[in-house]
Amino acid sequence: MTTLITNIQELLQIRDSTVSKVSGAEMAILPSIKNAYLLIENNLISDFGLMENCPKINADITIDATGKVVLPTWCDSHTHIVYAGNRVQEFVDRINGLSYEEIANRGGGILNSAKKLNETSEEEIYEQSKLRLEEVMKQGTGAVEIKSGYGLTVDGELKMLRVIRKLAQNYPIKIKATFLGAHAFPIEFKENHSAYIDLIVNEMLPKIAQENLADYIDAFCETGYFSVDETERIMEAGKKYGLQAKIHVNQFNAIDGIAACVKHDALSVDHLEIVNDDDIEALKNSNTMPVALPSCSYFISIPYTPARKMLNAGLPLALATDFNPGTTPSGNMNFVVATACIKMKMTPEEAINAATINGAYAMGIEKTHGSITIGKKANLIITKPITSFYQLPYCFGTYLIDNVIIEGRIVE
């Protein structure tokens, strides 16, 4: 099947196939073509260029994009979309003055979600999760990483990862699965951390590997959760099963976790609300992608990742939603891009780079997703008529997407 998009006001994020990520000052550059066309064959981008050079072909579908901007779909490299129920009461508790840590200490937070998940059937978790996945697809997300981590038991973690696999099988969106058994310590292991890590390493990981249920491994490296040493043990165990690390780190404290992640060649380090000079030095000249989650900062009123400091130091940066029931119950990447501009002082060019090509890198799919490149997946956002792509973050509360194309087909 061929689809031809014509009269594109501006085609954003056109890249050579050699570009896998952009860093520092490069992030301010967003290559584009004005008055363009784009040709899709089956599920791949096969051609694009100036409208005056548009080939004369009889496409199966022709879309007139007059006045509209076309760009790659968002690549959301950090989510917890698979969960049961919600934590709406904790939302009210925070309004009434309780902190994230206080809520966690009284059995809320991750442990609350774990309790709900272990009480819910795999089929019901799938039914709840697919609605969230369908929602983010309509909002322009064409690739998503989904973590486990609300099971905290062998059966619970396997149940989550099987739901993630079923979503990947049933939907065209690219899904990467991350094993996050090290999300929190269950109550029964609160005073015996090593025993729970033994459970992760000796029981969970072999079963996950046997069923080929995960692409990556994660841990919540933070004061009160998993120490740097404990996180390193988990990263080392993951390597034995071919699982590269993507680590939660520096959400509330800087505890030298970033340097440890870089040492273990983590694909990404995520959150980074607190970043010091040593952290930035550790990330320089590494292959590890820093990932900011601004809608989490917005929702629970914690600092925003210091994007300007990091970009000025020459680092790359990706943006993701952190979609989860407790601290970011939204998977809307359009809001993430807007919030990065408004609160983190990223330019629209930087934010779009962070949410597309760098987001793809942060989930290991930069060769197939994240830019307008011949041979890459035909995953596209077609906006409504707008005067400039700057309107995407500027009109932060307005839905400006006309169509989303994933794997060459319009998302209904």
SS3 call for 119: coil
Q: Which of 39-48, 76-85, 101-110, 236-245 has the lowest mean pLDDT?
A: 101-110
What's the pLDDT band for 109 if we cut at 50, 70, 90? Answer: confident
Give me the pLDDT at residue 101, please. Answer: 83
pLDDT tens across 184-239, in order? 999 999 999 999 999 999 999 999 999 999 999 999 999 999 999 999 999 999 99
Q: Measured in Å, how far apart are the chain's first and last C-alpha atoms? A: 17
Is residue 136 within 8 A of residue 323, CB to CB? The reply is: yes
- 163 contact partners, CB below 8 Å, separation of at least 6: 82, 122, 125, 126, 129
The dihedral region occupied by 97, where left means phi > 0, alpha psi between -120 and 50, and beta the remainder, is: left
Contact yes or no for 176/145 (Cβ under 8 A): yes
Strands 409-410 and 141-147: unpaired
pLDDT of residue 314: 98
User: Interior CA angle at 293 toward 254 and 172, to 5°?
Assistant: 135
**Nearest residue to 346 via CA among 319, 316, 308:** 308
Q: Which pLDDT score is estimated for 108? A: 84
- Report helix, strand or coil for 49: strand
| Strand partners for 36 | 8, 50
C-alpha pair distances (Å), 219 with each of 30, 234, 238, 266: 33, 7, 11, 11
For 56, the 3-state DSSP assignment is coil
List pLDDT tens digits, range 149-161: 999 999 999 999 9
User: Residue 106: what pLDDT?
Assistant: 80
How many other β-carbons are positioned within 10 Å of the β-carbon of residue 202?
10
**pLDDT cut 70: percent of the chain above it:** 100
φ/ψ of residue 87, rounded to 5:
-130, 50
Alpha carbon 30 to chain centroid, angstroms: 20
The predicted structure's pLDDT at residue 100: 80
pLDDT at 14 over 90: yes
User: Does residue 289 sit in helix, strand or coil?
Assistant: strand
Flag whether pLDDT at 256 surpasses 90: yes
Say if residues 226 and 180 touch (Cβ distance below 8 Å): no
Q: Quick one: average pLDDT of 366-378?
A: 98
For the stretch 85-104, pLDDT in tens is 999 999 999 899 998 888 88
pLDDT of residue 105: 81
State the pLDDT at residue 99.
Answer: 87
For helices 154-170 and 110-118, the axis angle rounded to 10 degrees is 80
Q: Which residues of 40-61 are buried (b: 16+ CB within 10 A; e: fewer)?
A: bbebbbeebeeeeebeeeebee
Residue among 123, 129, 179 at smallest CA distance from 151: 179
pTM over 0.95: yes
Query: What values do phi and psi take at 5, rounded to 5?
Result: -105, 120
Residues 45-78 have pLDDT tens digits of: 999 999 999 999 999 999 999 999 999 999 999 9
Q: What is the pLDDT of the chain when averaged over all its residues?
A: 96
* pLDDT at 203 (0 to 100): 98
